[in-house]
Amino acid sequence: MAPRLRIPIREMEIDDIASVYHLGEQLFTSEEFPILYRTWDPYEVTEYFSSDPEYCLVAEQKGIIVGFLLATTIEKEGTAWKKYGYLAWIGVDEAFQRARLGRRLYKELEKRLAEDGVRMVIADTDGDNEAAIGFFNSLGFSTRAQHLWLAKTLHRKARKGKPGGQFAPETEEEEAGRL
């Protein structure tokens, strides 16, 4: 286990938006996590930041963002617990992983959610993301349901007047620009 680092954790600020997005880009790669790669975009950061700034946290080491967490709450009338926390995104710079930074980010979120009346936190991740599953299990999360991601590639016709015109990519490698 890496040594525990005393890296400060704080609420995200507007100037952190680009750093958080780029750290996510480094982590959610098309090779390792194709679904996370496809669903991570700048709007994920800006939308969570605008709607729930108190649940958007960062870890900053010497002016550099090395970890982040984006979360929200969902209110459901007519359910036993009414208010759920949803941890949408969490990422820690590879060089800082296994130093309890992710755990500290989550614990800060959990404290805030509990203060706001949340009694259940939900998170999801790819079924083969062993790091995330190990991480969530270590925090007391248990698998409640299997969730399948399905995908279908939509093929466009070649553009008129363009011999050899452009088509939608046929394979994941093409889409990711690796071919």
Ligand X SMILES: CC(C)(COP(=O)(O)OP(=O)(O)OC[C@H]1O[C@@H](n2cnc3c(N)ncnc32)[C@H](O)[C@@H]1OP(=O)(O)O)[C@@H](O)C(=O)NCCC(=O)NCCS
Residues at the interface with ligand X (CB under 6 A): 1, 27, 89-92, 97-103, 125, 129-132, 134-135, 138
Nearer Cβ to ligand X (131/158): 131
Q: Which is nearer to ligand X, 30 or 82 (CB)?
A: 30
Least separation in angstroms between CB 105 and ligand X: 8
- Neighbouring CB atoms inside 10 A of 41's CB total 13
Kindly state the smallest distance separating residue 118's Cβ from ligand X, in Å. 19
CA distances from 128 to 35, 98, 121, 148 (A): 11, 18, 21, 12
Where are the extended beta strands (E) located within 48-154? 56-61, 64-75, 83-92, 120-123
Q: Give whichever of 5 and 179 is closer to ligand X, judged by the CB atom.
A: 5
Q: How many residues would you count in the chain?
A: 179
CB of residue 34 to ligand X, shortest distance in Å: 12
Tell me the closest approach of the beta carbon of residue 9 to ligand X, in angstroms: 11
Q: Whose CB is nearest to ligand X?
A: 134
Q: How far is the CB of 154 from ligand X (least distance, A)?
A: 26
User: 149 vs 1, 35, 132, 139, CA distance in Å?
Assistant: 32, 8, 17, 24
Q: What is the DSSP string of 104-135?
A: HHHHHHHHHHHHTT--EEEE---TT-HHHHHH
